[in-house]
Amino acid sequence: MSKRIVVDPITRIEGHLRAEVIVNDDGVVEDAFVSSTLWRGLEVIAKGRDPRNVPLIMQRICGVCTYQHYLNSTKAVEDALSIKIPYNAELVRSLMKIALMIHDHVVHFYHLHGVDWIDIPSALKADPKKASELAFKYTNSPIATGTDVLKRAQEKVAKLANSSQGLGPFANAYWGHKTYRLTPEQNLIGLSHYLKALEVQRIAAKMMAIFGGKNPHPQSLVVGGVTCIMDILDPTRTTEYMDNLKVLEDFVLHAYYPDIKMAAQMYKDEPSVVKPIGVKNFMTTSDIMLSRDEELFKTKGYILDGDLSKVYEIDEDKITEEATHSWYEDDEPQHPYDGTTEPKYTGFVNGESVGPDGKMTHSENIDAKGKYSWIKAPRYDGKAMEVGPLADILVGYADNNKIIVHAVNEFLKETGLPKEALFTTLGRTAARAIHAKIIAQNAMKTFHALIENTKVDEETCAPYIIDKDKEYKGRGMGLAPRGMLSHWIRIKNGVCENYQAVVPSTWNASPEDATGQKGPYEADLIGLKIQDLTQPLEIIRIIHSYDPCIACAVHVMDTKGNTLSQYKVNPLSNGVCDA
């Protein structure tokens, strides 16, 4: 008899996501549904606002890819008003993106997804000396793997384990699960890098703040360019960026990437991560300016059904979002310029699912026949698409982007994996490290281009006017850490008339559409064998490989419109807020 497993929340950090799977008697997933249980409605808030303010509001979609919505929203307004921004502004925006990308990739692997691969308590059993020697197998210049550093990492976790809080941030996981494949020594290397990555992510955040004023939510972009001219022209600021970039590059090349090689070698026979993925259509767009004529990810295109022999050009008119199974009024596919976002919450239905003791228990379940998620279903020409680092890598590979081809071939050679392994969960997690490596190795080109250009040109902002008698429309497209992101604006009477953001996690976490076609998360779960129904680590590992960001995907409110909380700020109270 089939059984239902509910995993909720799948991520606590980036908004609420729920997965429900139906398994057969062999523990194999026969059907899967993924639901975002959170709605924010930022696209609705944009309406009627001055287009120059909209990017600042859109930035609040997410504090993780914290710069990305600000940037793409700014680009959308610039596209609508036909503004060409100065080269310096392009380069600075690119440098901020580079910092964001590496920040996000490192945080994803170590702090959000790494513990799906690295069994932390197992690291306490490791011999630090052996682990220290082992680290040289994966890189000639390992980081944070000296015997003393590894011993200290063990001591830190042992102290947590013996404290009243249990394992602290490492509590509540499926430690010891049969599908963990690393040895204690390998787990210890991963643990040490987890701790080191906390420092590295802080450095990356500082880099964004050098040109952005602060992080999260940098403040230096305006429609027309950037405002950080004094930082661009100050050698102490630019040198600080450069020095920090070297730290990031070092960590990516000598910790993150080697750890992924280690994981790839050890997990290549673990069926749950090498199961072929469900949606084999991948889409990406060009991004990351290196210089006036060079972009790192050059291709704006897509591949279909895993076929690496043909790259298709994107026709933006074919991008739609529909809501047959999403909690919005209009079911029909809509182009984002004309997209609507009218909430229509229908809730969950009574049912049962496997409880923590393995017995069936009453639960509120997803209404698979009706509406079941706040996430819409984006489609390209009616097709579901995966976006993200794996898509960027695969489409670039298919398009013969030399940098990408070299990086992918090197990874396959170093790990002994076949090309097909890219089309798996393991491939998706590896692609993100390859992405980080490619960015880290090329970022200095953008930096030098900025230094050279500021010797002859100090422009950072282009003038423009908004004619209230004219109607405009424009979109900002680019790569966010989780994939292709687009913001779409219509301007009328000098204000935003309509706004839609079609976000990476929306593409990937999409529910079914009217034809029954599933989005990547759902399709990926089907066929998955779960070893222990009370410990569905395999589900979590697959979903985390996409790095779901539900704050982004549905852009908080109580569904009944109730006030959640009220804040009274007293400006004379030395910064203390009364909640």
Identify whether 497 is a catalytic site residue.
Answer: no
Cβ closer to Mg ion: 297 or 507? 507
Tell me 365's DSSP state.
E
The DSSP code sequence of 247-307 is: HHHHHIIIIIHHHHHHHHHHHTT-HHHHSPPS---EEE--EEEEETTEEEE---EEE-TT-
The correct pick among 482, 490, 518, 544 for binding ligand NFE (CB under 6 A) is 482
Cα–Cα distance between 259 and 401 in angstroms, integer?
25
Taking the C-alpha atoms of residue 497 and residue 43, their distance in angstroms, rounded to an integer, is 11
Binding-site size for ligand NFE (CB under 6 A) equals 17
Measured from the CB of residue 73, what is the shortest distance to ligand NFE in angstroms? 11
Question: Considering the rule CB under 5 A, would residue 433 count as an interface residue with Mg ion?
Answer: no
CB of 409 to ligand NFE, least distance (A): 26
DSSP-assigned beta bridge partners for residue 568: 578
Of the candidates 451, 386, 558, the residue with the CA atom closest to the CA atom of residue 41:
558
Q: Does 480 bind ligand NFE (CB under 6 A)?
A: yes
Residue 498 to residue 548: CA distance in whole angstroms: 26
CA distance 383 to 70: 28
Site for ligand NFE in 547-566 (CB under 6 A): 549, 551-553
CB nearer to ligand NFE: pick between 33 and 521? 521
2 assigned to active site: no
Q: Which is nearer to Mg ion, 23 or 501 (by Cβ)? A: 501
For residue 402, what are its two tokens?
């030399």
Angle subtended at Cα 473 by Cα 471 and Cα 476, rounded to the nearest 5 degrees: 155
Q: Which of ligand NFE, Mg ion, none does residue 549 bind to, with CB < 5 to 8 Å depending on kind?
A: ligand NFE
Residue 301 or 378 having the CB closest to Mg ion: 378
Site for ligand NFE in 523-552 (CB under 6 A): 549, 551-552
Of ligand NFE, Mg ion, none, which one sits near residue 552, judging by CB under 5 to 8 A according to partner kind? ligand NFE
281 makes contact, choosing from Mg ion, ligand NFE, none, with CB < 5 to 8 Å by partner type, with none
Give φ, ψ of 284 to 5 degrees: -145, 175
Per the annotation, the verdict on 505 as an active-site residue is yes
Catalytic (active site) residue 16: no
Residue 319 touches Mg ion, criterion: CB under 5 A: no
Q: Tell me which residue has tokens 């539900």.
A: 550
Q: Write the DSSP string, 373-428.
A: BSS-EEEETTB--B-SHHHHHHHHHHTT-HHHHHHHHHHHHHHT--GGGGGSHHHH
Task: Give the contact letters, 484-513, x = binds to Mg ion (CB under 5 A), - = no.
Answer: -----------------x------------
Min CB(550)–ligand NFE separation in Å: 8
Given the DSSP bridges, would you call strands 221-222 and 225-226 parallel, antiparallel or unpaired? antiparallel
Confirm or reject binding of residue 14 to ligand NFE (CB under 6 A): yes
Question: Smallest distance from the beta carbon of 190 to ligand NFE, in angstroms?
Answer: 23
Of 384, 284, 373, residue with least CA distance to 559: 373
Active site residue 62: yes
Q: Which residue, 319 or 501, is less far from Mg ion as judged by CB?
A: 501
Residue of 123, 485, 502, 542 that binds ligand NFE (CB under 6 A)? 485
Beta bridge partners of 473: 490
Q: At closest approach, how far in Å is the CB of 123 from ligand NFE?
A: 29
Which residue type, as a one-letter code, is found at position 195? L
Q: How many CB atoms lie within 10 A of CB 163?
A: 10
Numbers of helices and strands, H then E, in the chain: 19, 19
Instruction: Give min distance, CB of 333 to Mg ion, in A.
Output: 14
Check residue 6 for interaction with ligand NFE (CB under 6 A).
no
Is 555 a residue of the active site? no
Q: Which residues of 276-314 are buried (b: 16+ CB within 10 A; e: fewer)?
A: ebbbbbbbbbbbbbbbeeeebbbbbbbbbebeeeebeeb
Where does residue 414 rank: exposed (0-12), middle (13-18), buried (19+ CB within 10 A)? middle
User: Which of the stretches 179-187, 370-378, 427-435, 475-483 binds ligand NFE when contact is defined by CB under 6 A?
Assistant: 475-483
Q: How far is the CB of 339 from Mg ion (least distance, A)?
A: 7
CA 560 to chain CA mean position, Å: 30
Given 14, 78, 249, 538, the catalytic residue:
14
273 binds, among ligand NFE, Mg ion, none (CB under 5 to 8 A by kind): none
Phi/psi at 497 (nearest 5 deg)? -90, -35
Q: Provide the minimum distance between the beta carbon of 349 and ligand NFE in the complex, in angstroms, as a whole number.
A: 28
Q: Name the residue whose CB lies closest to Mg ion.
A: 501
- Residue 333 binds which entry of ligand NFE, Mg ion, none, CB below 5-8 Å type-dependent: none
User: Of 182 and 502, which has the nearer Cβ to ligand NFE?
Assistant: 502
Catalytic residue among 4, 18, 40, 69: 69
Site for Mg ion (CB under 5 A): how many residues?
Answer: 1
Q: Which is nearer to ligand NFE, 64 or 436 (CB)?
A: 64
Minimum distance of ligand NFE from residue 63's CB (angstroms) = 8
189 binds, among ligand NFE, Mg ion, none (CB under 5 to 8 A by kind): none
**337 alpha carbon, distance to own chain's centre:** 24
Which listed option, Mg ion, ligand NFE, none, makes contact with residue 480 (CB within 5 to 8 Å by class)?
ligand NFE
Q: Which two tokens stand for residue 140?
A: 């000639």
Place of tokens 């941030």: 169
- Encode 462-484: b = buried (16+ Cβ within 10 Å), e = exposed: eeeebeeeeebbbbbbbbbbbbb
The amino acid at residue 446 is T
Residue with Cβ nearer ligand NFE (245 or 551): 551
- Cα gap 516→519, rounded to integer Å: 10
Q: Using CB under 6 A, pick the residue from 504, 511, 519, 536 that binds ligand NFE.
A: 504
Cis peptide before 520 (omega within 30 of 0): no
User: Which residue among 40, 373, 386, 549 is the active-site one?
Assistant: 549
Residues that bind Mg ion (CB under 5 A): 501
Q: What residues are labeled active site?
A: 14, 62, 65, 69, 482, 505, 549, 552
Residues that bind ligand NFE (CB under 6 A): 14, 62, 64-65, 68-69, 480-482, 485, 503-505, 549, 551-553
